[in-house]
């Protein structure tokens, strides 16, 4: 056998891997972390505090904390945190392994993630009540945080939340799963190592949100971070821990007294971008119905449906979400009568 038949592909693969590594180094220089890094015990999390002057001027105002969806990080909230920071102190951060944060050890389930968030808040601003805005999977982290630290939680705003009953009910109805398969994530990791995703212009972190466009700089940063191996590894790890995360949430029997605001997207699964034949109507109807059940989380809970909106409410319905956050913040400040 001609040795060139073996050596040539290996040489091309090595060149491709080397070129991709150089491209990542270049991306790191072009897009440094916009915030600060905080060691929470073994790894550092990237975070930004916005509206910091409110911390001293309004000591009673809860800290508004943004918790991103699966595979997302602080950039995916767009300008929403900056708008809220005009009135309240804000903390926006990246979970371990996502965005600019370092990877974390151990299982990446909601119990671990909520503990890490608590450690970050205490390290950055001390013991201050938090109003947590959770999106999608981030809503599960927010709920576990509220369960573990109820006296340090001022309220929850759940944006198109993942729900523990959705998977079971969707299987009963025979609906296909919308979760990425482990095999697909492995294939993407391999392709990414050799620069194929970059060459094909397939960043994994750019959501399709009709009517919204990231700024040129934010879009470029999202693309650059998408091609980091740590991002895909973390997406895979969090996905593998999703069943245990759901079990942890299902075991909770919380009934809170603080405000809980549930905002659901009528068209969480966008029929325009869904795979051909995917039952988006049935999916969206079940998705919304499951979120309505979250009203039982609190004695002060409200549900609202965003008509014709898609999953990324913070981007596609920012003003509506701002109003909900401010309303929950004001409700959290009203003393409870004995």
Is residue 183 a part of any domain in this protein? no
CA atoms of 250 and 164, how far apart (whole Å): 6
CATH of the domain at 115: 3.40.50.1820
CA atoms of 268 and 35, how far apart (whole Å): 30
Is residue 268 a part of any domain in this protein? yes
Region of 42 on the Ramachandran plot (φ > 0 left; ψ -120 to 50 alpha; else beta): left
Burial letters 296-311, b for 16+ CB under 10 A, else e: ebbebbebeebeebbb
Is residue 160 a part of any domain in this protein? yes
- Model confidence at 179, pLDDT cuts 50, 70, 90, reads confident
**Nearest residue to 287 (alpha-carbon basis) of 139, 125, 95:** 139
Number of folded domains in the chain? 1
Is residue 46 a part of any domain in this protein? yes
Instruction: Please give the residue range of the domain that contains residue 91.
Output: 35-173+242-331
Higher model confidence: residue 13 or residue 30?
30
Is residue 310 a part of any domain in this protein? yes
Percent of the chain with pLDDT over 70: 94
CA atoms of 152 and 127, how far apart (whole Å): 7
Is residue 84 a part of any domain in this protein? yes
Is residue 210 a part of any domain in this protein? no
Is residue 119 a part of any domain in this protein? yes
Ranking 15-29, 126-140, 271-285, 317-331 by mean pLDDT, the lowest is: 15-29
Contact 223, 255 (CB under 8 A): no
Backbone phi, then psi, for 38, in 5-degree steps?
A: -130, 125
Average pLDDT of span 223-239: 90
- Model confidence at 337, pLDDT cuts 50, 70, 90, reads very low
Q: How far are the Cα atoms of 101, 104, 261, 276 from residue 230, in angstroms, in the given order?
A: 10, 10, 33, 31
């Amino acid at each position: 056998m001609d040795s060139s038949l073996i050596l040539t592909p290996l040489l091309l693969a090595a060149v491709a891997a080397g070129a991709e590594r150089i491209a990542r180094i270049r991306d790191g220089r072009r897009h440094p972390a916009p915030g600060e890094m905080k060691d929470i015990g073994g790894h550092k999390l990237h975070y930004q505090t916005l509206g910091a002057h409110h911390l001293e001027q309004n000591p009673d105002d809860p800290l508004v904390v943004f918790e991103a969806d699966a595979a997302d990080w602080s950039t995916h909230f767009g300008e929403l945190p900056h708008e809220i920071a005009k009135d309240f102190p804000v903390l926006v951060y990246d979970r371990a392994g996502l965005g600019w944060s370092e990877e974390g050890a151990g299982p990446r389930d909601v119990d671990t993630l909520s503990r890490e968030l608590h450690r970050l808040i205490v390290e950055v601003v001390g013991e201050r009540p938090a109003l947590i805005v959770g999106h999608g999977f981030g809503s599960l982290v927010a709920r576990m945080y509220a369960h573990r630290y109820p006296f340090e939680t001022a309220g929850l705003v759940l944006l198109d939340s993942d729900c523990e009953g959705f998977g079971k009910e969707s299987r009963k109805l025979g609906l296909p799963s919308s979760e990425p398969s482990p095999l697909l994530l492995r294939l993407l990791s391999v392709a990414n190592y050799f620069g194929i995703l970059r060459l094909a212009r397939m960043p994994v972190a750019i959501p399709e949100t009709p009517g919204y466009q990231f700024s040129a700089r934010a879009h470029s940063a999202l693309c650059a971070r998408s091609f980091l191996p740590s991002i895909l590894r973390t997406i895979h790890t969090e996905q593998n821990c999703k069943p245990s995360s759901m079990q942890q949430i299902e075991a909770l029997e919380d009934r809170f007294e603080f405000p809980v605001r549930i905002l659901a997207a009528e068209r969480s699964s966008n029929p325009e971008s869904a795979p051909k034949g995917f039952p988006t109507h049935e999916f969206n109807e079940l998705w919304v119905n499951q979120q309505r059940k979250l009203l039982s989380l609190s004695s002060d809970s409200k549900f609202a449906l965003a008509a014709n909106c898609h999953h990324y409410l913070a981007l596609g319905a920012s003003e509506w979400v701002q109003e909900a956050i401010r309303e929950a913040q004001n409700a959290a400040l009203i003393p409870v009568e004995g």
